[in-house]
Structure 1
Amino acid sequence: MDKIKTGLAAFGMSGQIFHAPFISTNPAFCLTAITERSKELSKERYPSARIVRSFDELIAMDELELIVVNTPDSTHYDYARRALEAGKNVIVEKPFTATVRQGEELIALARSKGLALSVYQNRRWDSDFLTVKEILDKGVLGRLVEFESTFPRYRNFIKPGTWKETGEMGGGLTYNLGAHVIDQAVQLFGVPEAIFADIDIIRTGGLVDDYFVIHLLRPSKAPHVKVTLKSSYLMCEPEPRFVLHGTEGSFVKYGLDRQEADLNEGLMPGTANWGVEDESIWGLLHTEKDGNIVRHKYPSLAGNYAGFYDNIHRHLRLSEPLQTDAAGVLPVIRLIEAAWESSKEGKVVKFGK
């Protein structure tokens, strides 16, 4: 089959870490063009990719089949729309859009043109999340009653001059990491009936939200499960990444998936033991059933961000379902909007399905 010729809309951290390595190492893809407005940082590692100087130049390339919109949050809607109008399949970095209305418009446009529109929810392929899914699928905790997902960060300063800190082009923790933890929870438990949230700015001099606690109430697939999602930029001593309690036991997991750290160190996908966690940070499984007490580390499954692009390939070439189809991710944006409403009004917000 012909390779999927792909263009990157930017070569900042997202392009360098989360996209170019996986596109370039997947034999089904060809990293054909990279947008760099003035620099040529990509030339050393990806010499065969053409460097273009603008998004307009990128989407005007007839040979490109797929565009990755990995630019600042506030540009996602406009750039995705322009790429779709140019006849390109599109991957949009999270958060998908700033508003539900923008998301609905893009989804309708993609459908009218028969094009794929995907959102880069790569943390569905995190090691810890895949392990949590396995534990739930096996039912080893009995009936789950409580689920906590915390994404810890520690940055007790304001990094000057970055759009994620100024809020001028998007940013803020709820749209950033919130888009991941909400998406994971919806994947596990479905869309909630209502939401209650506390979103705030807790760092001195902060301009964007850097703290949230979100409760998803009565999720559709498991209305009895109490779901709490949390993140903060002031967590010097991390809390567990996941805490699960059930009628027959608990699972507690510390640490973060290693793939981002390895990519930052210059490692490429496909290297030996890619995504494999060290045993020292495996989660603790503690169950008590029929008088039998089990308490031991539970082996983590390997993380695999390459699975995202594998699915893109199978969708475009083999017509398999798109796991990260924008229509399926749109509830995440609905929930973020509802979380902001809940926090501002100090009330439970019912979630319209």
Structure 2
Amino acid sequence: MSQKVVTSNPMASLRPLLELLADGQQHSGESLGAALGISRAAVWKQLQKLEQLGLSVESEKGRGYRLPGGLDLLAADQIRAFMSRSGQALLGTLQVLDQVDSTNARVLAQMDAGEGHGLVMLAEQQTAGRGRRGRQWVSPFAGGITLSIGWEFQGGVQILEGLSLAVGVALARALERFGVPDVRLKWPNDVWCRGRKLAGVLLELSGDLTDRCGVVVGVGLNVGLAEGAGRDIDQPWIDLESVRPGVARNHLAAAMLEELLTLLSTYPNAGFAAYRDAWKGLDQFAGRQVTVHSGPRQWVGASRGVDESGALLLEIDGELQRFHGGEVSLRSGEAGE
């Protein structure tokens, strides 16, 4: 597969300034202007624009400006350098954007145009990120890993059974590389840590669902959310920095891509069967009482893992019932979950 690395930024003019401020140190307006080749007035205008990204720049008279805590910016060349040769070989185009409406929407559009196979898109911030069931995915600037991958399959949508669960396993394996503790999976497509949501997965389909079809795998993982950044999240959440601080975002993104691209390239032959046992071993709700909601209806029973297609198995009054994805959601029946 041909490889291409693209750094495409709707706010590209701000990237040099962000790179200078990323160290979290004080920089005078004069030194920033000299480094950027612009006037101090132009520097001030760019600093004002950073507020549009949700970044708070501190200024101190006589000393200059700084971004408290600095930034760990994504860079396409660094991500690819952290990947193995086999992982790099699976990459098509690798794009890193500063700000975008939705990486899934952009990659899905490319898939619909027949150009998205192997396309990987990451963004520092999404303005219209989506989760399951139309929920908003909150993505503060440089606060997580937000990525989408486009992939084409032959054989119709039936060969993708259980894929969202397998993606969860791939993400857990990527996190395991960095010693992240207490990672679990919540059916059908959430990654949890210490009883709270760490990452979410959204799969979207394109093309002929009976023959040649495409899938966009969207992932959002909380790395380090600033205080107050998660106030709009409607469920208990956690970020990586609170359980395993110091993981470099480019290194983490590379590990995630290696696991996900390997999964996508082998899934038509391996299927969910290759991931079922691993998923069951990470099941957050194994053996516990849960409630499954689907529209106005709900069912209560004991979670008994998943079947060979990835459907949830729920024991109700001694009988196993199967629940598939879509509008089905899962909530623990126990207090505090």
Is TM more than 0.5 here? no
Q: TM-score, normalised by structure 1?
A: 0.30
Query: Whose relative contact order is higher, 1 or 2, with alpha carbons under 8 Å and at least 6 apart?
Result: 1
